[in-house]
Amino acid sequence: MSDMVPPTGLPFLKMHGLGNDFVVIDARETGAVVTAGLARALADRNRGVGFDQLAVIETDEDADLRLGFWNADGSRAGACGNATRCIAAWEMGRTGKTALSLRSDRGLLQAEDAGQGLTSVNMGQPLLDWQGIPLAEDVDTLHLPIEGDPVATGMGNPHCTFFVVNAEAVDLATEGARLEHHPLFPQRTNVQFAQITGPDRLRVRVWERGTGITLASGSSSCAVAVAAARRGLTGRTVRIMLDGGDIRVEWRDDGVWMTGKTAHVFSGVLTPEFLTAAT
């Protein structure tokens, strides 16, 4: 990538995990500083590049790299599981390593090459108490006082999971937008509608706070797996069928691991003109 980059402009990568797509900026050498304005401009699928989340790679003294995340509306995200897997796969391919440590607001995470084009990331232990998620008041996180009896889970981002008879029948655009701003979630919430389709299999549709409907979501998949296991609906290892494809989630003693495919689609350079207009 470095030989093709002109002395001006900002290099970036476009990646996706099951259609959940990302712009990735490697700031370790460029020292790039991302602002909310730049994130919003990049997210525009007509005038920018387009993404569900923006990820920034930085150096870290005690980890192989540090990751920061932005939503399409310019707000910050505390975690992004699929972007973490994508970047881990790319970095392991670039360096020849088979395991990495990655730091984010979620804490120190571990990633591994799972073979056959699959990448695994440990997203850490779920947050199950109302303050950690966080919620606005002390309520039962396994049975929220919201119509539909959802479950609340913290995976670096707040999550609200509804178990439904038919996930396809849900008006995701309307319900997701409404529930994202429910007063019980002071930092807004990601919303999932999950349908049990077989032993340890779930069909899941996702609304992400600050972005909207997405084809997949790693942290949402982890939250659904934890919620289903807590409710006794599944075991602690499940396969989740999202709009963009399938992912495996395992709630182990050391955290919630997810394993799936990733793709580095292309590399590019943001022009000085675009960067100037975005600031």
pLDDT in tens, the chain (279 residues): 333 334 479 999 999 999 999 999 999 988 888 999 999 999 999 999 999 999 999 999 999 999 999 999 999 998 899 999 999 999 999 999 999 999 998 899 999 999 999 999 999 999 999 999 999 999 999 999 999 999 999 999 999 999 999 999 999 999 999 999 999 999 999 999 999 999 999 999 999 999 999 999 999 999 999 999 999 999 999 999 999 999 999 999 999 999 999 999 999 999 998 998 887
Q: Do domains 2-123+262-278 and 151-253 have the same CATH topology?
A: yes
Q: Which CATH architecture group holds 2-123+262-278?
A: Roll (3.10)
Please check whether residue 217 is in contact with residue 190, taking contact to mean a CB–CB distance below 8 angstroms: yes
Cα distance between residue 53 and residue 197, in whole Å: 29
What dotted CATH number matches 151-253?
3.10.310.10
Size of the chain, expressed as the number of residues it contains: 279
Among 46, 71, 56, 87, which residue's Cα sits nearest to residue 188?
71
Q: Where are the domains of the chain?
A: 2-123+262-278, 151-253
Cα distance between residue 151 and residue 133, in whole Å: 11
pTM of the model: 0.93
Please check whether residue 22 is in contact with residue 53, taking contact to mean a CB–CB distance below 8 angstroms: yes
State the pLDDT at residue 277.
86
